[in-house]
A = this chain, B = another copy of it.
Amino acid sequence: MDSIFEAGGHGGNPAPVKPIPTIVPTPTEYETLHDTGHKTLWVVFIIMLISSAVFAFRSWNIPVSRRLYHVITTLITITAAISYFAMASGDATSFSCHSVEDHHGKHIPSTHHDVCRQVFWARYVDWSLTTPLLLLDLSLLAGISGAHTILAIVADVIMVLAGLFAAYGKEHTAQKWGWYAIGCVAYLFVIWHLGVNGRRAVAARGDKTTKLFGSLALFTLILWTIYPIIWGIADGARKVSVDTEILSYAILDVLAKPVFGTWLLIAHRNIPETNVELGGYWAHGLTSGEGRIRIGEDDDAA
């Protein structure tokens, strides 16, 4: 997990040798972000910041007991805003280097040079916090049980961490594509937990909620499936530039967070059956009224 830069010093008096076919060693190549990528990061930071403010203000007139979706959705965009600020300001990034062979033709020995690609690890910190919150939004909407929600979130965190380890994995070892495979299996668990349990649970909530959950879950499924494909092309196989990678993730992040959140909160307002009313500690704090606390009783009685 550490970046190790070994800048070797060169000096001394090499002994004279007979002329050999001159091979200029290829210097280390750096694949970094350029102007487009940099501007994209700042733009997405602004979008996330504005979304957070809008979501927070929308919750203003809603009683605390009904703000659960608003709180979760606002936390998602705030986390993304901070992550994008970190990336845009040049933090939270390091290089993952691979050795590449250079062929110079017959009779001439091959040489090696390093290709180092900039990996923004802030993304993975972001995702390991925001994707559980997105799953929580969907689970609450469908009425999925706590046990299944916890398992889906654990699988989801494993998926994100596997992606992080794969991004820094050494080429030609189990590290890179082994972690990628673990991430994909974990993703199947997430789909299974949300898809199978979600459809069963949401059926009890009426047609409107079922339809909303179906649309949002499908939207999320499509987006989340594009992420690992981009990862495979960009971080994995390194076929596209860092700027293209930033741009692709930026579009996905905007769709998966502010657009998803807006859709959820507007639909939620229009479908009363999606209302989750939380009493107890969430809405009223620990009441010490008679020197005795009742958690989870009907919030009128508390």
B-contact bits for A158-191, CB 8 A (1 contact / 0 none): 1001000100111001110011001000000000
Tell me, rounded to whole Å, the shortest Cβ–Cβ distance linking A301 to chain B: 10
Other-chain residue from B11, B148, B277, B295 in contact with A293 (beta carbon distance below 8 A): B277
Q: Which residues of B contact A276 (CB under 8 A)?
A: 286, 288, 293
B-contact bits for A110-149, CB 8 A (1 contact / 0 none): 0000000000000000000000000000011011111111
Q: Which of A83-91, A219-227, A249-257 contacts B (4 or more CB under 8 A)?
A: A83-91
Tell me, rounded to whole Å, the shortest Cβ–Cβ distance linking A152 to chain B: 12
A12 at interface (Cβ–Cβ under 8 A)?
yes
Q: Are A7 and B7 in contact (CB under 8 A)?
A: yes
Q: Are B94 and A2 in contact (CB under 8 A)?
A: yes
Q: Which of A22-30, A235-243, A258-266, A267-275 contacts B (4 or more CB under 8 A)?
A: A267-275
A61 at interface (Cβ–Cβ under 8 A)?
no
In the bound complex, what is the Cα–Cα distance between A175 and B90 (angstroms)?
A: 7
Oligomeric state, in number of copies?
3
In the bound complex, what is the Cα–Cα distance between A4 and B169 (angstroms)?
A: 14
Q: With A78-B154, A86-B165, A288-B143 in contact, is A4–B3 under 8 Å at CB?
A: yes
Q: Which residues of B contact A5 (CB under 8 A)?
A: 4-6
Q: With A78-B154, A89-B175, A90-B175 in contact, is A146–B11 under 8 Å at CB?
A: no
Q: Are B6 and A6 in contact (CB under 8 A)?
A: yes
Tell me, rounded to whole Å, the shortest Cβ–Cβ distance linking A94 to chain B: 6
Across the two chains, which residue of chain B brings its CB closest to A168? Answer: B1
Tell me, rounded to whole Å, the shortest Cβ–Cβ distance linking A14 to chain B: 10
Tell me, rounded to whole Å, the shortest Cβ–Cβ distance linking A135 to chain B: 13
A109 at interface (Cβ–Cβ under 8 A)?
no
A-B pairs with beta carbons under 8 Å apart, 24 shown: A4-B4, A6-B8, A9-B11, A11-B12, A71-B147, A71-B151, A78-B158, A82-B158, A82-B182, A85-B178, A86-B165, A89-B179, A90-B170, A91-B169, A145-B283, A147-B283, A275-B288, A275-B291, A276-B288, A276-B293, A277-B292, A277-B293, A278-B293, A296-B296
